[in-house]
Structure 1
């Protein structure tokens, strides 16, 4: 494999390829898939979302699988930022000293985000942070941080003032205007965007007459999410000059190319791992063949071509 063909440069991140597991997929590098395979072959690893205090998550069942996707209401289960900084991160960094690591930050208040972001950054073990703004803002009556552009700007700006790492904002699709939300993140000083998080959904079991997950509703992901992700990335890429990490329904190298054509500069893979635990590795192995089909020398060439196309469309 020619790593130069697949190499990606993003703020704070030098990636040998554009593929990384989405937050939650590999835990803190201590999940089964992560323990049984070489993470150094990936572009980067996005860690499980961390909150100020430990969380046990939502009622069981937390995950329901369907042919067309997965509904999850895990509820950001994690041991809390103190345990992550003192135990999880050192163990992972010792095993993988050169692997780019991205911490995922969440909270119930702006202050929570700032505390978690600061402690993760001060560990010196991460290359970037990703703000999960799809969390309920307790101070605002439970409304998600990511649905209010003013809140996105404020949150991003305060975190940026608190840390010296690049900050990527993971946008929620559960909004009226995704471009406005992306512009709000840019205004707050975001270094990049991750698009998109899960769609708020629900499934009901006809036999039990009960919701499929214990929390009644949850985040929907999988192949059926891809058209929405592609559309939103395309819209944002034409209006906001920030690099985008595309996520939503990716299960093949062809999907990665489609994300690039929409305007992404790297990708995250999540739900595909339910059916193929080695999805990330398989996608990386197939990427060069996809570039050959398009007669492209590198992903950088593809990205530059797409960027120039967007500029021409705006003229």
Structure 2
């Protein structure tokens, strides 16, 4: 018997809990010949800003021992071109769930992007990016300041006609506290974690290997820390959580669900295997069948600690 793989996340029903992460899946349509867009739970677009952004100068990606360091800098085509050129192509896949990642340098930028997207078809939710470590304005500037985060989320929620997911930075003292602030300000869900700020140096040239000097670390190296943060946040808020950070296998996804996530995002894995998210759907379904799990949603928060009373 096939397990029930559907999950309900911030009022949106997903066919399964596997979501392609922002910045690793283009605008969705670029993967139509590689991944079944209707086979995965959802996908999150590249971060969209009010105007097009060129991003940072190369080199801006480097492989590390157990992950990837990137400083792309939120390169994107801008919200207008997305609405005019990308969204119409997605109508070929009416069951695909598109979540738009929204970014701005100022609060008004975020609000204006959301307002322009509100009447565009085919979008199920917004993911508010307050956590990118690779830009000089916006991004982590909001995610690391409690007051700025509260104000931004409140303004964005007031402007939004769709569920609002807030993507938090792990580069803070307490991500659980920032999640509480976002939830109280109106966030319908929390997305975590984004990349960890790091750097790499070429010992031969004695220079940074990334032009931006620092970048965001993702991949298997961050999974144990990301799991801990999801677990702590799940105990701190009542809104659903999107967990991510080093997910490569079905077992990785299960661990995040057990830690408290309702759904998960896979990102860096798509660089090594462009079909990674679809493979994860198949793998998670097989895992549930093999472990007699009738509903994948029952795994959420299912962690047991027998030595605690």
Equivalents in 1 of 2:26, 2:89: separation in Å? 13
Residue 215 of structure 1 and its aligned partner are, at CA, apart by: 1.0
Equivalents in 2 of 1:277, 1:30: separation in Å? 13
TM-score by length of 1: 0.91
Equivalents in 2 of 1:274, 1:71: separation in Å? 12
| 2:167/2:194 contact within 8 Å kept | yes
Residue 110 of structure 1 and its aligned partner are, at CA, apart by: 0.4
| 1:137/1:145 contact within 8 Å kept | no
Going from structure 1 to structure 2, the CA distance change for 1:209 and 1:144 (only over 3 Å counts) comes to: same
| 1:26/1:34 contact within 8 Å kept | no
| 1:29/1:35 contact within 8 Å kept | no
Residue 281 of structure 1 and its aligned partner are, at CA, apart by: 1.4
TM-score by length of 2: 0.93
Q: Report SS of the residue matched to 2:56.
A: coil
Q: 2:222 maps to which residue?
A: 225
Equivalents in 1 of 2:197, 2:302: separation in Å? 34
Q: 1:172 maps to which residue?
A: 169
Q: 2:212 maps to which residue?
A: 215
Residue 231 of structure 1 and its aligned partner are, at CA, apart by: 0.4
Residue 269 (1) aligns with residue 263 (2): no
Residue 56 of structure 1 and its aligned partner are, at CA, apart by: 0.6
Match of 2:55 among 54, 57, 64: 57
* Structure 2: gaps spanning 5 or more residues: none
Q: 1:189 maps to which residue?
A: 186
Equivalents in 1 of 2:245, 2:104: separation in Å? 23
Residue 143 of structure 1 and its aligned partner are, at CA, apart by: 6.3
Alignment of 1:236-247 (within 5 A): 236-247=233-244
Q: 2:68 maps to which residue?
A: 70
* Structure 1: gaps spanning 5 or more residues: none
Residue 195 of structure 1 and its aligned partner are, at CA, apart by: 0.7
Q: Which moved more, 1:206-215 or 1:241-250?
A: 206-215
Residue 210 of structure 1 and its aligned partner are, at CA, apart by: 2.0
| 2:257/2:301 contact within 8 Å kept | no
Deviations 1:78-110 (A, max 9, x none): 111111111111222x22122111000001000
Going from structure 1 to structure 2, the CA distance change for 1:176 and 1:190 (only over 3 Å counts) comes to: same
Residue 153 (1) aligns with residue 150 (2): yes
Equivalents in 2 of 1:299, 1:59: separation in Å? 42
Q: Name the structure where helix makes up a greater proportion of residues.
A: 1
Q: 2:116 maps to which residue?
A: 119
Alignment of 1:122-133 (within 5 A): 122-133=119-130
Runs of 4+ in 1 over 6 A off after TM superposition: none
How much is the aligned-residue C-alpha RMSD, in angstroms?
Answer: 2.0
